[in-house]
Amino acid sequence: MRYEAILFDKDGTLFDFEATWGLWAQAFLLRLTDGDAARAERLGRAIGYDMGENRFEPDSVVIANTPFEIVTVLEPHAPGLSRAALLDLLNGEAERAAQVEAVPLAAFLGGLRDRGLRLGVATNDAEAPAKAHLGAAGIRDMFDFVAGYDSGHGSKPGPGQLLAFADHVGADPARVVMVGDSTHDLVAGRAAGMATVGVLTGVASQADLAPLADVVLPDIGHLPGWLAA
């Protein structure tokens, strides 16, 4: 099979999940609680994040879900804030989150584009923070398509974002590869009729991803070798 396009998840795929979002979670929770560390720790547990260990539980709502879903979990623990205010606070802190690249992205993505591949990003983050993160990494212009949960195509594990990408670049979904670190990504890929590649730069394990993936790789840096094979 000769593939024509590759669609990437963002968090845990292009960027290392825990290295990036652990710091975000600390900053967001402390801001939400006006610096009350004990309360921030309690709120962290509600979203599946351990502040002391700086790590996420495998079933954390932060992993692969939308900001709206995270806010739904947090809302009962933040009675002084409306849902809209919580969402604004979460998205604002997310835009400022420093992203840790899973591999040197400019060279990696440039190599894929040199092969004639069209590239896209489908994330359950909001579109504005996603574009901010790609821009800060200097790679925004390497993607033909960027969609968040609020871009009008739905969110993963639904296939809407993926099919919108295929349509945007004029590719048969069967000739598109969906690359992600979560089961949401791979379920969406299968539903869209795409090849699915799992990577281990998120929280999910090989055992979690393997049943839904054509291959599971340590990180996206191994993708060119798989494509060549």
**Given this model, what pLDDT does residue 19 score?**
86
Terminal Cα-to-Cα distance of the chain (whole angstroms): 10
| pLDDT higher at 64 or 123 | 123
Give the separation between CA 83 and CA 80, rounded to whole angstroms.
Answer: 10
**Given this model, what pLDDT does residue 22 score?**
87
Give the separation between CA 62 and CA 69, rounded to whole angstroms.
Answer: 8
Rg over alpha carbons for the chain, rounded to the nearest Å, is: 17
Lowest mean pLDDT among 71-80, 160-169, 218-227: 71-80
Q: Which residue has the tokens 């990003």?
A: 121
Give the separation between CA 15 and CA 1, rounded to whole angstroms.
Answer: 27
In the numeric block, which tokens belong to residue 35? 């610096």
Tell me which of 3.40.50.1000, 3.40.50.300, 1.10.10.60, 3.40.50.2000 is the CATH number of domain 5-16+101-228: 3.40.50.1000
| pLDDT higher at 154 or 68 | 154
In the numeric block, which tokens belong to residue 156? 């993963």
For the segment 74-85, the average pLDDT, to the nearest whole number, is 89
**Given this model, what pLDDT does residue 1 score?**
79
In the numeric block, which tokens belong to residue 48? 């599946």
pLDDT band of residue 98 (cuts 50, 70, 90) is: confident
Q: Could you report the per-residue pLDDT of 159-195, keeping only the tens digit for each? A: 999 999 999 999 999 999 999 999 999 999 999 999 9
Determine the distance from the C-alpha atom of residue 164 to the mean position of all C-alpha atoms in its chain, rounded to a whole number.
17
Domain ranges of the chain: 5-16+101-228, 18-96
- Label the pairing between strands 49-50 and 55-56: antiparallel
Give the separation between CA 89 and CA 84, rounded to whole angstroms.
Answer: 9
Tell me what percent of the residues of the chain surpass a pLDDT of 70.
100
pLDDT band of residue 214 (cuts 50, 70, 90) is: very high
Q: Sign (positive/negative) of CA torsion 186, 190, 192, 196?
A: positive
Helix (H) or strand (E) holding 56: strand 55-56
Give the separation between CA 16 and CA 25, rounded to whole angstroms.
Answer: 14
**Given this model, what pLDDT does residue 58 score?**
86
**Given this model, what pLDDT does residue 124 score?**
95
Give the separation between CA 224 and CA 20, rounded to whole angstroms.
Answer: 24
